[in-house]
Amino acid sequence: RPKSPDRSGWTPEQHAQESKAKGDAAFAKGIWRDAVVFYTRAISYAPKDEKLFSNRSACYMRLKKFEKALEDARRCVSLRDSWPKAYFRLGQALRGLRKWEEARQAFAEGRFRDPENPD
């Protein structure tokens, strides 16, 4: 195993980027629990990065932890309410919880934010 880099002079953003990259790699391999750990670590360094909450919400969805997915999706919306993907994550979590009407509303809000998006 290669020697770890010296992180003593790193900024919080650099720590967050490193953890996010590890989370992205775990996500790509379908190792959802590890991805959650890495995204959680990244969030500790960058608590206002909506994409980290979105990514962790997606992991929780894969793990069928719909309440946790919902918490992260709501946080994502609160950080960037103009981002259509935040509403997509919200809709997914609500659908997982079988809250059909709320899910429909979240998806509709995302569509309103980006009507050209085919997803």
Residue 111 scores a pLDDT above 90: no
pTM: 0.91
Q: Which contacts (CB < 8 Å, 24+ apart) does range 19-27 have?
A: 19/45, 20/51, 20/52, 20/55, 23/55, 23/56, 23/59, 24/55, 27/55, 27/58, 27/59
Please state the rounded mean pLDDT for residues 81-85. Answer: 92
Please state the rounded mean pLDDT for residues 8-31. Answer: 96
* pLDDT confidence of residue 119: 56
